[in-house]
Amino acid sequence: MFLANWTSVKVFFFLGFSQYPKVQVIIFVVCLLMYLITLLGNVILISITIPDSHLHPAMYLFLSNLSFLDSWYTSSALTPMLANFVSGRSTISFSGCATQMYLSLAMGSTECVLLSMMAYDRYVAICNPLRYPVIMNRRTCVQIAAGSWMTGCLTALVETMTVLPLSPCGNSIINRFTCEILAVLKLVCVDTSLVQLIMLVISVLLLPLPVLLICISYAFILTSILRISSVEGRSKAFSTCTAHLMVVVLFYGTALSMYLKPSAVDSQEIDKFMALVCAGLTPMLNPIIYSLRNKEVKVALKKLLIRNPFNTACISILK
């Protein structure tokens, strides 16, 4: 059905930042650096969290999943953009656009669920420390991670399959640098109220609802921390939550500004900037935040660097 409706559109053209030819090279260099740092940081984080026996299964399982999500999310968004810039083209095929749309939605949706589950993990660690190994056992952690992936992939499939059957106007110019679902919807001539309603329901389930669960978890966490008498105990409890809280604010802040903003606020340039932040900046900062703010991850990273004598300078930076 959707192939018949989109037969007139074989190739999509990205408008991107072509209105600013003087800064396109700068944007390319910045995006390339963000992409390389994101891949390097997440690969390192995965390599130190999975084999290290000192990290609890919940921690390394969630962190490795988060790093894998960020790597795929950035790759699906920035790789076609960088390739188009090098080749001098700004196009993508219909199948490539559909794939890119699904991957970005699936990775982003899965991360929404995973971050809320990581808040629950921190709640159990702070409020029920003695029962933490029992509650957050390996089986439970695997089920949480698998449930996050299933939720993200299924909701992304629903959103993608509701957009593809719509009839386009014939215009194939996307005013973005990726096949972002909101930008593709603007190419449609038919009534999109049902699609927008479905997207709104999914957005509420994946954005405000997880944020609410995170806020509730941290309200209990803060209450438990304030009951700790020693300053050292409070500091240690805060340190276990700071990294996750910083990632939550960064991720949900940009996501909420894109998908749940008022319809009256429609600035293409702001939307492109926020999409660039979501695709490049946020995934790049996540491994940096976790490696610098998490003491256990820093210890594991130092052990990895010690094995290589050329990384002495890196170890001194982590101290």
Burial-class residue 160 by CB neighbours within 10 Å (0-12, 13-18, 19+).
Answer: buried
User: In the chain, what are the domains?
Assistant: 12-261+268-289 (1.20.1070.10)
Q: Which two tokens stand for residue 6?
A: 């989109």
Predicted local distance difference test score (pLDDT) of residue 268? 66
Tens digits of pLDDT across the chain (319 residues): 344 455 456 677 887 776 767 777 888 888 889 899 888 888 887 877 666 555 556 777 888 888 899 888 888 888 888 887 887 777 888 888 888 889 989 998 998 899 888 889 888 888 888 888 888 888 888 899 999 999 999 999 999 988 887 767 766 788 777 888 888 888 887 778 888 888 888 888 888 888 889 889 888 888 888 887 777 777 777 776 777 778 888 788 777 776 666 554 456 667 777 777 777 788 888 777 776 556 666 666 666 666 554 444 444 444 5
Predicted local distance difference test score (pLDDT) of residue 146? 93
Distances (CA, A) of 15 to 20, 24, 46, 92, 266: 11, 12, 35, 12, 17
Written as one letter, the residue type at 106 is A
- Between CA 126 and CA 179 the distance in angstroms is 41
Predicted local distance difference test score (pLDDT) of residue 152? 93
3-state percent breakdown (helix, strand, coil) of the chain, nearest 5 = 75, 5, 20
pTM given for the model: 0.81
Q: Which residues neighbour 224 within 8 Å (Cβ) at sequence distance 6 or greater?
A: 126, 127, 237
3-state secondary structure (DSSP) of residue 40: helix
Q: How many CB atoms lie within 10 A of CB 60?
A: 23
- Between CA 72 and CA 78 the distance in angstroms is 10
Segments of the chain assigned E as strands? 11-14, 91-93, 173-174
Q: Are 121 and 114 spatial neighbours (Cβ–Cβ below 8 Å)?
A: no
Burial-class residue 147 by CB neighbours within 10 Å (0-12, 13-18, 19+).
Answer: middle
- Strands of 11-14's sheet, edge to edge? 91-93, 11-14, 173-174
Predicted local distance difference test score (pLDDT) of residue 137? 86
- Between CA 104 and CA 22 the distance in angstroms is 28
Q: What angle do CA 104, 107, 110 make, to 5 degrees?
A: 140
